Chain A
Amino acid sequence: MSHTIFKDLQDEKTEIKKTQILQALESEDLSATFDDALDNEMVLNMGPQHPATHGVLRLLLSLDGETVKKCIPELGYLHRGYEKLAEASTYHEFIPHTDRLDYLQPMANNVAYALAVEKLIQLEIPERGKYIRVLIAELARIQSHLLAFGAMVMDIGALTPFLWAIREREKILDLYDIICGARFTTSYTRIGGVSQDITEEALRATRKFIDEFGGYLQECRNLVERNKIFINRTEGIGYMSKEDVINYGLSGPLIRAAGVEADVRRDNPYLVYDQLDFRIPTYTDSDCLARYYVRVEEMVESTKIVKQCLDKFPQGAYNAYSTKKVLPKKERVYTKMEELIHDFMIINFGPNPPKGESYSAVEASKGELGFYFISDGSGHPFRTKIRAPSFCNLQALPVMMKDCMIADTVVIIGGVDPVMGEADK
């Protein structure tokens, strides 16, 4: 009885057309032989619900014993259609959506988006606004790298550094709470500035955090860096040659770990990065250990940048003055007729940029985060394209995973540090 049911099921199955992704996996060298079970190559489905894939990344692995022969990443499990939503909302309305792109560093996305729109509508913000943005963008970099550091080490098996990293990360979230009133979904920037001025209290709290952070980070590093298990698990794992790294269009820590000193902050300086002194950590090994070191040293550099910002913090206006493009202050909207009209017009019809196209990019923690706008002169963008670094970096996974052991896959994913909110848009 049971046999016939099984047979029926099997008949039904062969009728279903094989999905294209399985066809892509099964090339000629992958034919199954049934004489000896050990000769077979096995297809393993990793994710989308897998704790080590940093969200909903799905990998199809073709295994020979424990060795990965082929890997196909599958995306789209978190696809929310942000580019379509952007076409239907005004430039201001899209700011909260940017929080949900790379949700490990919402502030950096806010800054990237605001800068891109300002480039499109040709608006220059005052010095204080720029310093606020650099400050929050660098805090966001530390925040994101802390999780990358913790998660990568945890995937190898060390839980303590993860907890310690999260402890520090919580402090940054508390800082955001003081700066803008929200911990996770900050939506802090506005077109032409930020939603509210940074207070003296916030600056004091930031300085206190930054002064202590270096020591805590060193403590975390001491747990890991001379650990033989950690080094054996990361050194030489996930190697990718420099030519491949360039050809696959990678950016961020991945390209710097391959010996290419590429950083948008240095190459095409935006905000006030050309007035700040910082180093770009570069390694040449292009393996997971090099990526780890690049990230950790970037955190040290970021603390330096934040310190310089705090020392130089200028007084004055933090928002650009442009009645038709920048939202007026709320207290003036409630008391003055003129501001009420402008507020109404900007909220309902948006700051109308000139007809044309514009591209602007910043260096986010994962790489180059850019926005390409096509404007038709109305308050909505005609087309918004998000250049998400995680999406581009994930493309290199099959190269890094070629002939690695199955236990190393999680380390390699940790080394790439993808965020699916951004990769899937």
Chain B
Amino acid sequence: MRALFIMTEQRLNTLKEKLSNFNLQYTDVNGTPSITIPKENLLDVCRILKDDADIKFDQCRDAVGVDRFTKKNRFEIIYNLYSLPNKDRLFIRVEIDGKNPESPSIASLWKSADWYEREAYDMIGIKFTGHPDLRRIYMPEDYQYFPLRKDFPLMGIEGSIPLPNK
């Protein structure tokens, strides 16, 4: 099988060149390039990724919220970017502290990130600063837990969703 979503060496180098001002870590997700971005640089880097004519990642196709359940940097959000002209895929990730899970929202750049971030907030409990409408998307509005956290039991918490009276 031809491996999916592999970026050419040349385009990856252009990408690295354009982002050389920032302190970034390059890894790869089973062949697809991935960048770890410090929280404070996220919006600046994203602006370049989106608007630069050579790389042009014009779509944000998904966001994966992760609960690593580690002491340091417990949470992580992984955005799944796609470039329609170059047919490239790129993952950008932000590590988030467990005590104060906050990350800047990129919904101002890619409108699609709006719901993905709401989902990550609902499931993992990451608060996105600057998000236009940060509400829960699946669970009831008054629900108090974050179901995809590792300390949330699989069977749920008894009494957390009130049942109708008989």
A and B interact = yes
Task: Report the minimum CB–CB distance from A216 to chain B (whole Å).
Answer: 34
Interface flags for B145-165 (1: CB within 8 Å of A; 0: not) read: 001100010100000000000
Tell whether, in the assembled complex, residue B135 and residue A24 are in contact, meaning their CB atoms are under 8 Å apart.
yes
Tell whether, in the assembled complex, residue B30 and residue A247 are in contact, meaning their CB atoms are under 8 Å apart.
no
Q: Spot the interface stretch: B1-9, B12-20, B39-47, B96-104.
A: B1-9
Tell whether, in the assembled complex, residue B84 and residue A370 are in contact, meaning their CB atoms are under 8 Å apart.
no
User: Is A402 interfacial (CB 8 A cutoff)?
Assistant: no
**Per a CB cutoff under 8 Å, which of B62, B137, B152 touches A392?**
B62
Q: How far is the CA of A19 from the CA of B135 in the complex (A)?
A: 11
B residues in contact with A356, CB < 8 Å = 29-30
Q: How far is the CA of A383 from the CA of B69 in the complex (A)?
A: 12
Q: How far is the CA of A422 from the CA of B84 in the complex (A)?
A: 24
**Per a CB cutoff under 8 Å, which of B112, B113, B139 touches A76?**
B139
* Nearest-neighbor residue (CB-CB) of A354 within chain B: B30
Task: Report the minimum CB–CB distance from B63 to chain A (whole Å).
Answer: 9
DSSP class of B's interface residues: helix, strand, loop or mixed? loop
User: Is A360 interfacial (CB 8 A cutoff)?
Assistant: yes
Residue with the greatest number of chain A CB neighbours at <10 A, chosen from B29, B67, B114: B29
Task: Report the minimum CB–CB distance from B82 to chain A (whole Å).
Answer: 8
Tell whether, in the assembled complex, residue B139 and residue A79 are in contact, meaning their CB atoms are under 8 Å apart.
yes
User: Is B80 interfacial (CB 8 A cutoff)?
Assistant: yes
Tell whether, in the assembled complex, residue A124 and residue B1 are in contact, meaning their CB atoms are under 8 Å apart.
yes
Task: Report the minimum CB–CB distance from B152 to chain A (whole Å).
Answer: 8
Q: How far is the CA of A83 from the CA of B65 in the complex (A)?
A: 11
Tell whether, in the assembled complex, residue A395 and residue B115 are in contact, meaning their CB atoms are under 8 Å apart.
yes
**Per a CB cutoff under 8 Å, which of B4, B61, B115 touches A119?**
B4
Task: Report the minimum CB–CB distance from A228 to chain B (whole Å).
Answer: 36
User: Is B73 interfacial (CB 8 A cutoff)?
Assistant: no
Tell whether, in the assembled complex, residue B1 and residue A249 are in contact, meaning their CB atoms are under 8 Å apart.
no
B residues in contact with A84, CB < 8 Å = 147-148, 152, 154
**A-B contact number at CB 8 A:** 113
Tell whether, in the assembled complex, residue B84 and residue A387 are in contact, meaning their CB atoms are under 8 Å apart.
no
Tell whether, in the assembled complex, residue A248 and residue B112 are in contact, meaning their CB atoms are under 8 Å apart.
yes
Interface flags for A258-295 (1: CB within 8 Å of B; 0: not) read: 00101000011111001000000000000000000000
B residues in contact with A250, CB < 8 Å = 112
B residues in contact with A268, CB < 8 Å = 4-5, 87, 89
B residues in contact with A186, CB < 8 Å = none
**Given A268-B5, A356-B30, A387-B80, A246–B59 Cβ distance below 8 Å?**
yes
**Given A24-B133, A76-B137, A247–B91 Cβ distance below 8 Å?**
no
Q: How far is the CA of A360 from the CA of B147 in the complex (A)?
A: 25
Q: How far is the CA of A17 from the CA of B35 in the complex (A)?
A: 43
* Nearest-neighbor residue (CB-CB) of A424 within chain B: B138
Tell whether, in the assembled complex, residue B84 and residue A246 are in contact, meaning their CB atoms are under 8 Å apart.
yes
For the complex of A and B, list the 9 residue pairs with the smallest distance between their C-beta atoms, beginning with the closest: A249-B112, A76-B138, A358-B30, A79-B138, A385-B64, A267-B87, A387-B62, A357-B29, A268-B4
> Hey, which bits of chain B sit against chain A, CB under 8 A?
1-5, 29-30, 32, 58-62, 64, 66-67, 78, 80, 84, 87, 89, 91, 110-115, 119, 123, 133, 135-141, 147-148, 152, 154
A-B residue pairs in contact (CB < 8 Å), sample of 9? A20-B141, A76-B136, A79-B139, A119-B30, A359-B5, A361-B4, A370-B62, A372-B80, A385-B62
